[in-house]
Amino acid sequence: MRILIVLLIAFIGLISAETNYRENLSDYGFFKGTLKDLIPADGVVPYALNSALFSDYASKLRFVKLPPGQSVAYNPDSVLQFPVGTAIVKTFYYPIDERNPKKGRRLMETRVLLHEEKGWVALPYIWNKEQTDATLEVAGGSDQVLWTDASGKKQSFEYQVPNMNQCKGCHERSGEMTPIGPSVRQLNDGQQLQHWETAGILKGLPKDHIPALVNYFNTAASLDDRVKAYLDINCAHCHNPTGPARSSGLYLTWDSKDRTAYGFLKSPVAAGRGSGNLSYDIVPGKPEQSILHYRMASRDPGVMMPELGRQLTHHEGVELVRSWIQSLQ
């Protein structure tokens, strides 16, 4: 196993050497002033998603930069098709104390997605202890993170930064890398798309009938809409007809109309440990008999879903799905 890891790192190192990507985040000029403040430079646009991917309770700051004079076309169905030369920049961080933002934050990593002529490439940059810059680490990395959560409880775990190949595990569609988050339904908060249109980076925005996902934390929204938003961002990037989990036949996209493909009384492709010896992905009214709930709640690497990008259980997400399955007839 050790030999395989060494070979993998060497292979990744060769990729880096051939492509000669920038060594430090500061080399790109995405931000002005003190780097750790992440103040966007001219042409770099901050954005937010209606329902964000769970990543071990990390907070995230997102930015996009399009090539000068170019724009992206409105597309209601999938992730926006950004032009070649676009950079998507996402920084993962933990507040020192979620109850008091003035205590600061610990920046962990910044992932830079570059749209090149040959396709998208994902580059992980890991922040140094001094928080002065982040360095490209194609083999990923890990570090202990400590923070106090909103309830005042101290939390800690070994934070994992994925390597370049692991990034493909979530970002791949039909064998090609693609961004996950910035779709119209995720950006439609009533203002953001209109701002992009005014700034000239979005073309063709209609006046109405623009799809939108709810925030899955918004308890004023329907339980069904919240779960659809949760499963779409956390699961559907793999569980769709062209994603890495397409062979499972379980498709958890927001607009799925096929109840069987969505998991209702659907048998898993493979039985056994991963399914907990349960018979169906979703058993209406019975979350404890549903594989979906079982795998979301697990922290066993051979069982848990998603397989990548988390080590902790998203208790709020598990409870959301449990309540939804319980409510089903």
At 245, list the tokens. 């989990």
Global pTM reads 0.89
At 165, list the tokens. 């190949």
Cα separations (Å) of 108 from 99, 131, 188, 209?
19, 9, 28, 38
Cα separations (Å) of 271 from 173, 275, 281, 282, 291?
25, 6, 11, 14, 10
Task: Tell me what pLDDT residue 271 has.
Answer: 64
Cα separations (Å) of 200 from 43, 65, 72, 90, 103?
11, 12, 9, 22, 37
* Residue spans of alpha helices (H) in the chain: 2-19, 164-171, 184-187, 192-198, 223-234, 291-297, 315-327
186 vs 206: CA distance, rounded Å: 16
Contact call for residues 52 and 233 (beta carbons, < 8 A): yes
Cis peptide before 101 (omega within 30 of 0): no
At 169, list the tokens. 């595990």
Q: What are phi and psi of 103, to 5 degrees?
A: -75, -5
Cα separations (Å) of 324 from 72, 127, 163, 227?
36, 39, 34, 7
Task: Tell me what pLDDT residue 272 has.
Answer: 72
Q: What is the pLDDT along the chain (329 residues), one digit of tens a residue?
A: 444 444 444 444 444 444 579 999 999 999 999 999 999 999 999 999 999 999 999 999 999 999 999 999 999 998 999 999 999 999 999 999 999 999 999 999 999 999 999 999 999 999 999 999 999 999 999 999 999 999 999 999 999 998 887 777 677 777 788 898 999 999 999 999 999 999 999 999 999 999 999 999 999 999 999 999 999 999 998 999 988 888 999 999 999 999 999 999 999 987 678 889 999 999 999 999 999 999 999 999 889 998 887 899 999 999 999 999 999 98
What is the total residue count of the chain?
329
